[in-house]
A and B are shown apart, each in its own frame.
Chain A
Amino acid sequence: MYWIFNHNFLIWVNNIPLLGCLLMIFIPRDNLNLIRFISYTISIVTFLITIFLWILFDESYHYFQFVTSLKIFNISSVKYVLGVDGISLFFLILTSLLILISILLSWNSIKQLELTKEFFILFLIIESLLLNAFSIIDLLLFYIFFESVLIPMFAIIGIFGSRTRKIRASYQFFLYTLVGSLFILVAILLIYFETGTTNISILYNVDFSERRQLVLWLAFFASFAVKVPIIPVHIWLPEAHAEAPTIGSIILAGILLKLGGYGFLRFSLPLFPYASLYYAPVIYILSILAIIYASLTTLRQIDLKKIVAYSSIAHIGYVILGIFSFNMEGIEGSILLILGHGFVSSALFLCVGILYDRYHTRILKYYSGLVIFMPIFSTLLFFFILANLGFPGTSNFIGEFLILVGLSQSSALLTIFSAFGIILSASYCLWFYNRIVFGNLKEKYFNFLQDISKKEFIALLPLIILTLWIGLYPNIFLKPIHITAVRLISHII
């Protein structure tokens, strides 16, 4: 058992999926069951190890824990050092859980069966890259992992997407992210040139001059803003979601958006405190725009996935507001909302994916009166719609509430606007649910109707449990974040 307490095991966490890829290369393509089985076991193993991380996490220590380093990926003074602290812990767990659920779900739903092996290999590569990105304590390598996720996502959206507009969507996704990311490259190089290191734990103690901070913060913002997405560079998100396969959407919504939030928490705030305070009004305006505009646009959408995508943008607007409110409640609330949004949005995309698997259309017009033949599905969907609203008792409520508390300490006017956003989210969520589930059954469009299957139910189950758990007893989740958030705030002040 001692190997667990050996400090190496963060490397295992990150790179077990890569080992799985290596294994899978040697399996012949037709042996579908073996491929699925291997990817499934690898994702379960990764998930269990990340749970270990949580159990062994020391909540009273505010620096990085489980720090390990390897002698690969070394470029002059850039070293591959991994570490977990309060902020990244839950991102790791979120990532491995969502990948586990997606692999479970994609058992039978890949259209091009002969490309199953490539699909799972891409998936495991994405998982490994994301886990690495969330746990690495080095700026340049974070950037490399952050950007390397583009290639497999481009392939997944483009090859396994569901409609013919997918090429344009994957182009947009790729190019938007690329343009934003090149500015952050220049900023990282400038930091490296000025301080001689890109190690975050050293950089946290470096004070940049104020003018330089302003420029560097803008460069970092350019990249994270596209990833988050912040209006006005949000257009790639609905397109990418509409074209991606279900599992691609889950990964996109659940994790890739969090990369932007994580980037803000890990890099923009601690490294450039003066610049963050300086630009905070801009962020406030953009986030409130995101909340209100995205919620209003949702009312006009006809594609189910686009509705969920725009609601994603709205929720991330809350997250960014929370991050930039510069107090304890705001940051803890934003991390909780990130977690909650990860669960709830993924679950909503899952439900839409269930509908798409059966009826092969995502246009709102064709769905009505589903409760008659799919009661279990309707119940689950209702639960997630309420969670999306921010209904008390679910994770989103805790997150939004904490964010509003934090925001009210910064500015009362903003709180009024964002509380207004909650009403808007209620409007589109309930209307969405109402139109699909209740009403008369439109028989002429459907040939057969089938309720949710056991596999999909089991895939949704962890999300339900986690949402309720965070909603009813969030303290367990808040404790690890607490001390890190304290350090973050004290540094800024």
Chain B
Amino acid sequence: MNILISMIDIYLFMPELFIIFSFFILLIYGVSISTNKNYGYPVLLKSIGYLTIIVFLFTLFFLIKSSDFSSVYFSNFFFSNQSLKWIKITLLIISIFYIFLIISNIYLEKLNIFEFFLLFLLTILAIFLIISTFDLISIYISLEILNLTFYVLATIKRTSEFSTEAGLKYFILGVFSTGILLFGISLIYGYTGITNFTDLNIFIQNLIENKNVIEFPIQLLLGLVLISVAFFFKLSAAPFHMWSPDVYEGTITSVIALFTIFTKVIIFYLFINLFNFAFYDLFSIWQKLVIFCAFFSLFLGTFIAFIQTKFKRFLAYSSINHMGFIIIAVSSANCNGFYSLFFYIIIYILINLGIFSSFFSLRSVTSYKVNKQARYINEFIILSKTQPMVAFSILIIFFSIAGIPPLAGFFAKLIVFLTCLENSSYSLVIFSILISCLAAFYYIRIIKIIYFDNFEVWPIYLPIDKLKANVLSFSVLSLTLFCLNPNLIINIIYIIVIM
């Protein structure tokens, strides 16, 4: 009996359903009121922002109250289990922080489009769908929802040519990569006739056991490579990273925070699902691909970041560098690797929250009610005297990125190295250690610019506002106080991952 949609599907899909419904309600609310002549065409940005926070809180409530059992639903298109539930909860909390971060910034950027938050709601919906996919087709569908919202979000500042150009680049390259993804999926489907992960797993196992093949069929391999190419593109890992510096530089900073914080966790989870579950037995093939990307990302990310002068491009290359580290963790197909990956991503998200909240606060005042976001690294100058607390927070965040003990970033790198050593890939470890030494230099250079450089004209910045300060302090405190009891967070993440 094939029932199309049964009760269990609705039950497991409840959080996403709630998001869809609330999206529609908020959309109707936004459109009907903001174009209403009687109310004076109000700017609904902040109200919709706060309403999305309430939506997220309700979804959290739904998630926490749902029971823990693992199953597949929607006729084996999606799956859900306990660890997925906690990952969704983590993502919701991070998105609440993200809204805190950008809500006043969007006002200051004069971006009075309330659909921003609605698109963000759709992003979260797409994220939930992506991390619970269990089928090759639903990968494509959910990834496309995400991609579409990201393309629109990238060009949301319609008055800026710079932003439009960056968004267009992202759109064209993203569509291209989705095409490659579809081609890979269709190759695999064409050869095997199945798209479900479990079925693929069983198929490949049988292929190896029964036929005792020495060479794998070329369609499978090609499909694998093309799918991973599409994933690496989304992650901005080398050598598919060309879009990220330009897009990062052009798009407005609020959206860049979205790109940095959210894409990594979902694409990696998807990667792990696909490659560790469906293609597990082809491990010897995809491990080489992954290690090659890791080497290349580490190498490129470090060396090009040396000569950057604009902060957002610098951030893009440093995130390529971090992707290199995380890809090292992916290359080991065991539970420890997955755990170190997740841990690194959590710390990376914390660091990024901190970076963006401190970077957003650098709006230089040029005249009354005209303020401009700082763009160049050199505009960080003399921050130690104008805004000492923000400067100190930046110090802690950058030392943490560079991997200096006793801050949290060091522990993240430590655990990644440990998993790498367990797989006896010694040259990878030594290479990544040398690279992180080099990387430490340009992070410390920013600290040097903040604290040690002198300039005749002091740039004056607006003081940081309360919500952003909350996010910044949360980030900095968690990075510093992490060393006091690392066991706490490590055990929590380990339990989540094992489930």
Partners in one complex: yes
Give chain A's interface residues, CB within 8 Å of chain B.
71-76, 143-145, 147-148, 150-151, 154-155, 158-159, 166-167, 171, 174-175, 178-179, 182-183, 185-186, 189-190, 192-193
Identity of the chain A residue whose Cβ is nearest the Cβ of B420 in the assembled complex? A189
Residue from B421, B484, B487 in contact with A76 in the complex, judged by beta carbons closer than 8 Å: B487
Asked if residues A143 and B405 are in contact (CB atoms below 8 Å), the reply is yes
Chain A residues within an 8 Å CB radius of B406: 144-145, 148
What's the nearest-Cβ distance from chain B to residue A71, in Å? 8
B485 is an interface residue with CB less than 8 A from chain A: yes
List, in ascending order, chain B residues with CB within 8 A of A75's CB.
Answer: 411, 486-487, 490
3 pairs of A and B residues whose beta carbons are closest in the complex:
A144-B405, A74-B487, A182-B433
What is the chain A residue whose CB lies nearest that of B483?
Answer: A73
Interface size class of B (residues with CB under 8 A): 20 to 34
Cβ distance B224 to chain A, nearest Cβ, rounded Å? 30
Q: How far is the CA of A189 from the CA of B485 in the complex (A)?
A: 20
Q: Is there contact, CB below 8 Å, between B414 and A76?
A: no
Stretch at the interface among B74-82, B158-166, B436-444: B436-444
Judged by a CB distance under 8 angstroms, whether B168 is at the interface is: no
Given contacts A143-B405, A147-B405, A171-B444, contact A76 B490 (CB under 8 A): yes
Contact with A along B447-490 (1 / 0, CB 8 A): 01001100000000000000000000000000000011111001
Q: Is the beta-carbon distance between A193 and B444 smaller than 8 angstroms?
A: no
B448 touches A158 (CB 8 A): yes
Q: List 10 A-B contacts (CB under 8 A).
A: A144-B406, A147-B404, A158-B448, A158-B452, A182-B433, A185-B417, A185-B433, A186-B417, A186-B430, A186-B433
What number of A-B contacts does a CB cutoff of 8 Å give?
76
- Considering the chains assembled together, what is the distance between the CA atoms of A270 and B451 in angstroms? 42
Contact A185 B421, CB 8 Å, known A73-B485, A158-B452 = no
Interface residues of B (CB under 8 A from A): 399, 404-406, 410-411, 414, 417-418, 421-422, 429-430, 433-434, 436-437, 440-441, 444, 448, 451-452, 483-487, 490
A74: which B residues are within 8 A, CB to CB?
485-487
Q: Is the CB–CB distance between B452 and A174 below 8 Å?
A: no
Q: How far is the CB of A197 from chain B (nearest CB, A)?
A: 14
Complex contacts, B434 vs chain A, CB 8 Å? 179, 182
Give bound CA distance, A145 to B434, whole Å. Answer: 21
Contacts of A192 in B (CB 8 A): 418
Among residues of B, the one whose C-beta sits closest to the C-beta of A149 is B405
Cβ distance B394 to chain A, nearest Cβ, rounded Å: 14
| CB atoms of B421 and A159 under 8 A apart | no
CB contacts (< 8 Å) of A186 on chain B: these are: 417, 421, 429-430, 433
* Docked pose: A148 CA to B480 CA in angstroms: 12
**Assembly CA distance A14 to B452 (angstroms):** 31
Query: How many Å lie between the Cα of A128 and that of B342 in the bound state?
Result: 33
Nearest residue (CB) in A for B491 is: A76
Q: When chains A and B are docked, how far (Å) is the Cα of A147 from the Cα of B441?
A: 16
Which of chain B's residues has its CB closest to A193's CB? B421
Neighbouring B residues of A147 by C-beta, 8 Å? 404-405
Given A159-B451, A189-B418, A175–B441 Cβ distance below 8 Å? yes
Residues of B within 8 A of A183 (CB): 433
B452 contacts across to A, CB distance below 8 A: 158-159, 166-167
Complex CA gap A231/B340 in Å reads 38
Residues of B within 8 A of A179 (CB): 434, 437
Report the separation of the CA atoms of residues A145 and B405 in the bound assembly, to the nearest whole angstrom: 8
List the B side residues contacting A145 at CB < 8 Å.
405-406
A182 touching B437 in the complex, CB below 8 Å, given contacts A144-B405, A147-B404, A167-B452: yes
Please, which residues of chain A bring their CB within 8 A of the CB of B433?
A: 182-183, 185-186
Identify 4 new A-B residue pairs, CB closer than 8 A, beyond the known A147-B405, A167-B448, A179-B434: A74-B485, A74-B487, A166-B452, A174-B444
Q: In whole Å, how far is A212's beta carbon from the nearest beta carbon of chain B?
A: 12
A335 vs B301: C-alpha distance in the bound complex, in angstroms?
45
- Residues of the B chain whose Cβ atoms lie less than 8 Å from the Cβ of A178: 404, 437, 440
Q: Which of A71, A73, A151 contacts B404 (CB 8 A)?
A: A151
Residue of B nearest to A179 (CB): B437
Q: A73-B485, A159-B451, A182-B436 are in contact. Are A148 and B418 (CB under 8 A)?
A: no
Cα separation A252 to B106 with both chains bound (whole Å): 48
Q: How far is the CA of A151 from the CA of B399 in the complex (A)?
A: 8
